[in-house]
């Protein structure tokens, strides 16, 4: 019988990492003789959750263990959470959930819901009771929401993989030492099957910036691809361990269907479709704001300064353009703002410039004689009350299509343009070997 172990919320802004706890636990479980029936699952939950610690990741390990070892597997899990959880942080509220047998469809649907909106703990508790699961909660118990969602994250549809390497304890908190040129070589060699390794200028993006144990992570379309990338990257410090995860990262899993503007809810991801209702305005901080309206209302949409050149795209919008805007709903005072993560331009309005007419007598330029009084030629003095402005259609510096922020501003769930056409609709068979290393090894 399969044991599903879900974990969430062990980290804090000052350190720790739930994926690291999972990597330690995977080693323990293998030591017990467990057989992994899937890669470790890394689920990114609703990125707009106000109480998230960092990347809002939950993990699930799915293993077959001998009946006599089930209690030991649970004991190992709880010990690691107690040892590694960052309990001093107010927003760190770990949870662990254990489930035997198949994943119920209700729990899979719950997982999709947690990725796309705010969910209350009571809903998770009810499902845990209904399906006879075992749950352990610390502090306010919110972590069981993500832990249950990780168990439900079977990722039967589109998914990606990430190989994450972890630092030795002595190096955590210091600058990460990875050879930047090797990252660029890796990107060149694997970019058809990996993504977001470097930014538009070639700066590496695979290393995080916080004090957590992660050294770097490579994301890609297959376990083979991320392992190939791992063998190209040159670390300039020791790697304590590494592990490959199957994930919803880079899949746009947080976006569902288009919704009316009037239904926008704080802290939820949303897609709206409508007409641009105002010329984009650059405000303090170099953020760009524009309005979109549909039949139900109007919303402010924001492209913030960290999105980089994406703001240049947004500035080219004009009233009347038909767009889809994808983003997270942020409560403002007053009203709500959609933090734009992706822009889809559906159709363009005509950009028209009205010019003074030319003189019909000499072809010279004219000037207005006043409202409703026509135009006078500045060259020959010809006057005509019937002359009207000339309507000249201007070329647009924008075309229909999908536009994203610069790569260093992508959220974990953002589907990069290079993944369009690479979406998966099934899960592969046997696990690629090796999918875990402790300590790291090379071929």
Q: For the chain, what are the domain ranges?
A: 2-154, 261-348+396-412, 351-394
Mean pLDDT, rounded, for 29-37: 95
User: How far, CA to CA in Å, does 130 sit from each of 106, 138, 140, 270?
Assistant: 10, 21, 21, 30
Q: What pLDDT does 428 receive?
A: 74
Cα 318 to Cα 107, 199, 281, distances in angstroms: 44, 29, 11
The residue behind tokens 């770097």 is 216
- The yes-or-no answer to whether 2-154 and 261-348+396-412 have a common fold is no
Query: For 282-299, how does the pLDDT look when each residue is reduced to its tens digit (9 = 90+)?
Result: 999 999 999 999 999 999
- Bridge partners of 136, per DSSP, are 96
Mean predicted confidence (pLDDT) in 134-157: 95
Average pLDDT over residues 206-218: 94
pLDDT of residue 371 exceeding 90, the answer is no
In this predicted structure, the answer to whether residue 436 has a pLDDT above a threshold of 90 is: yes
Tell me what the mean pLDDT of segment 242-265 comes to.
97
Residue 256: CB atoms within 10 Å? 16
Query: Euclidean distance between the first and final Cα of the chain, in Å?
Result: 33
pLDDT band at residue 443 using 50, 70 and 90 as cut-offs = very low
- State the chain's mean pLDDT as an integer: 94
pLDDT in tens, 149-201: 999 999 999 999 999 999 999 999 899 999 999 999 999 999 999 999 999 99
Q: What is the pLDDT of residue 51?
A: 85
Q: Which fold has domain 261-348+396-412?
A: OB fold (Dihydrolipoamide Acetyltransferase, E2P) (2.40.50)
When mean pLDDT is compared across 50-59, 300-309, 323-332, the lowest value belongs to 50-59
Q: For 28-42, 81-95, 391-405, which range has the lowest pLDDT when averaged over its residues?
A: 81-95
State the pLDDT confidence band at 145, using cuts at 50, 70 and 90: very high
Beta strands in 40-150 (DSSP E): 41-44, 57-64, 95-100, 134-137
pLDDT class for 15, splitting at 50, 70, 90?
A: confident
Q: So what's the pLDDT on residue 16?
A: 87
Inter-residue contact 10 to 86 (CB < 8 Å): yes
Annotation: CATH topology of 2-154:
Alpha-Beta Plaits (3.30.70)
């Amino acid at each position: 019988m399969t044991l599903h172990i879900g974990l969430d919320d062990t980290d804090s802004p000052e350190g720790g990492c739930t994926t690291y706890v999972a990597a330690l636990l995977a080693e323990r479980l293998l030591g017990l003789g467990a057989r992994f029936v899937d890669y470790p699952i890394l689920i990114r939950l609703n990125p707009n959750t106000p109480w998230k610690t960092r990347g809002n990741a939950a993990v699930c390990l799915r293993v077959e263990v001998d009946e006599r070892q089930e209690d030991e597997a649970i004991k190992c899990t709880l010990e690691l959470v107690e040892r590694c959880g960052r309990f001093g942080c107010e927003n760190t509220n770990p949870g662990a959930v254990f489930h035997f047998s198949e994943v119920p469809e209700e729990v899979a649907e719950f997982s999709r819901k947690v990725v796309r909106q705010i969910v209350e703990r009571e809903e998770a508790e009810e499902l845990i009771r209904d399906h006879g699961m075992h749950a352990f909660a610390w502090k306010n118990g919110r972590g069981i929401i993500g832990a249950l969602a990780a168990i439900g994250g079977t990722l039967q549809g589109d998914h990606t993989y990430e190989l994450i390497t972890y630092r030795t304890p002595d190096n955590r908190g210091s600058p990460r030492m990875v050879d930047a040129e090797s990252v660029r070589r890796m990107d060149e060699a694997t970019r058809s099957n990996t993504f977001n390794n470097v930014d538009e200028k070639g700066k590496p993006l695979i290393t995080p910036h916080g004090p957590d144990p992660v050294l770097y992570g490579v994301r890609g379309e297959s376990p083979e691809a991320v392992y190939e990338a791992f063998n190209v990257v040159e670390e300039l410090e020791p790697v304590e361990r590494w592990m490959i995860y199957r994930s919803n990262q880079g899949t746009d899993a947080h976006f569902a269907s288009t919704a009316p503007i009037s239904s926008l809810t704080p802290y939820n991801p949303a897609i709206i479709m409508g007409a641009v209702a105002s010329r984009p305005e650059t405000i303090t901080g170099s953020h760009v704001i524009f309005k979109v309206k549909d039949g139900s209302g109007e919303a402010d949409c924001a492209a913030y300064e960290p999105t980089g050149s994406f703001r240049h795209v947004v500035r080219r919008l004009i009233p009347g353009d038909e767009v889809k805007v994808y983003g997270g709903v942020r409560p403002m005072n007053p009203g709500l703002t959609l933090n734009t993560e992706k822009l889809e331009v559906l159709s363009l309005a005509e950009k028209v410039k009205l010019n003074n007419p030319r003189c019909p007598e000499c072809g010279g330029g004219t000037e207005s004689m006043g409202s409703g009084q026509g135009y006078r030629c500045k060259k020959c003095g010809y006057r005509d009350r019937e002359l009207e402005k000339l309507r000249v259609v201007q070329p647009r510096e924008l075309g229909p299509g999908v536009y994203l922020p610069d790569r260093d501003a992508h959220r974990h769930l953002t589907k990069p343009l290079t993944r369009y056409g690479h979406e998966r609709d099934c899960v592969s068979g046997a696990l690629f070997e090796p999918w875990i290393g402790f300590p790291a090894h090379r071929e």
